[in-house]
Amino acid sequence: MKRIRRNIAILLTALMLFASGATAASAAVHENTRRPVIDAKSAALYSVTTDEMLYAKNPDQRVEPWSTTKLMTALVVAETMDLNQEVTVSKKAASMGGSTMNLVAGEKVTVRQLMYGLLLESGNDAAYALGQADGDGSIKTFAAKMNARAKKLGCRGTHFVNPNGLKAKNHYTTAADYVKIARAALANKTVFKIAGTKVYHMDATNKSHARTLETHLDLIEKKGSGVVAGKTGYWEDDDCSVALMYDKKGLKMILVQFGANMETRAKDGAKLLKFGTEKIVTKEATNPKKSAGNVRVKYGARTLVKTYAKGTVLTYPKDGSADSISVKENYKDVVKAPLKSGDKVGTLEVYCDGRKVGSTPLVVHENIEKGWFLSRFYISNRATIAIGVILMLLALIIGFLVRRRKDRKAEEMSESGESKDTASAESKEEVPEESLKSKDIVDDHPEDRYL
């Protein structure tokens, strides 16, 4: 009995040690994938590619967006105004303090120029001028448009009262909401182009010399960062904001930070983006070294040629499985020779989780010269030779069979003639005995026949 208890105790101890070891191993893995620690009071990292939130810190906490407000201003203007429309700057707009593009009252500028001043120089004056122009002179009317657009995007914790983000009561948002706003704004081609510009040279106006406008977005200046567009916000050194888009190797993400520190905002942003790229499972959908298929070539010495993806398309399946990835070959209606190695003959489309996520040209890796006459019917030179050889063999075989048939017929006719001659000769030589006997009897006494 004691021995049994002892064995049970040993077994339980072993199980406990195993469990603690497993927990330690799990903790080590968790340690390696730990969420980054950042200074921002509120932040969110969203994957546009996989449609999932990768990171969130106080995503529903109400915060002041500061100048990231201008992304919403830009979206509303881009959707409702003509970029070539001329705007006369009001005294109120020109009097805006803080960050400006130095507009002058009475200055005539286009909506496009104001948009560059809005998103690059973070011009409070440009925002006000655009708000007045789009709101029929009323900032309140324009703010109502901003709120209506936010509501349409599904934002429930956002409210705007001005177009520039200057501190005001009831002007607020949340990280979760601003992901939606930034995504929509940067999906707009006009806003994306302007918010992704580093330097813009503006022509002289009726009130000012030419201007050079430069972006305030730190990470867009860093080579290889993957940041392609966005907008910063600032109130104090320890109360900054940023909303940006990352787009690299087929992976798109939206990052927003609020209540960030001026010194660590860019560093924390880079840290969060790195975390996002490491968290998402990456799969190669195309391999430039492996044949993607075959294409038929008209007029070619060869009429069936292997094709290859020109580039590597990366995908990010939600379940991390390659089963979620598919490709579709789209070739030109007619591919004609001659072709040179590297020539494009079609496009390879890549789908992941049922959505098209990228494409790459389909190219050939060899030179294809023009073929002979039959190549216009997609018959290669080699096939033409093979057809010629087959036809020659068929002709020889047919000729042989015809000759053989003639020879057999001649032989049959010859044999038939000889048999007839033999039969005739035999018929003459063979006389029946009765005939001979009848011929040998001579009727010496014919008169006796009547006796």
Q: Which of 67, 90, 375, 380 is catalytic?
A: 67
Of 171, 169, 180, 175, the C-alpha closest to 242 is 175
Q: Which helix (H) or strand (E) holds 150?
A: helix 139-152
Q: Which of 42, 90, 99, 122 is catalytic?
A: 122
70 is catalytic: yes
d(C-alpha 191, C-alpha 415), whole Å: 102
The structure tokens listed for 56 are: 């969130």
Q: Are residues 312 and 288 in contact, defined by beta-carbon separation less than 8 angstroms? A: yes
Quick one: CA dihedral 109, 115, 120, 125, positive or negative?
positive
d(C-alpha 96, C-alpha 44), whole Å: 31
Of 143, 178, 173, 146, the C-alpha closest to 157 is 173
Q: How far is CA 83 from CA 74, 79, 112, 260, in A?
A: 11, 10, 5, 33
Count CB-CB contacts under 10 A for residue 188.
Answer: 17
The structure tokens listed for 23 are: 């927990």
Of 267, 234, 259, the C-alpha closest to 121 is 234
How remote is the C-alpha of 328 from its chain's centroid? 10
d(C-alpha 367, C-alpha 359), whole Å: 24
Q: Which of 42, 47, 57, 70 is catalytic?
A: 70
How remote is the C-alpha of 16 from its chain's centroid? 50
Ligand-binding site membership of 169 (annotated): no
User: Collapsing DSSP states into helix, strand and coil, what is residue 13?
Assistant: helix
67 is catalytic: yes
93 φ/ψ angles, rounded to the nearest 5 degrees: -65, -45
4 φ/ψ angles, rounded to the nearest 5 degrees: -65, -45
241 is catalytic: no
The structure tokens listed for 88 are: 């006369």
Q: Are residues 270 and 41 in contact, defined by beta-carbon separation less than 8 angstroms? A: no
Secondary structure letter of residue 120 according to DSSP: T
Report the interhelical angle of 69-80 vs 175-187 (nearest 10°).
40
Annotated binding residues, written as ranges, equal 231
Q: Residues with catalytic annotation?
A: 67, 70, 122
Annotated binding residues for substrate, written as ranges, equal 231
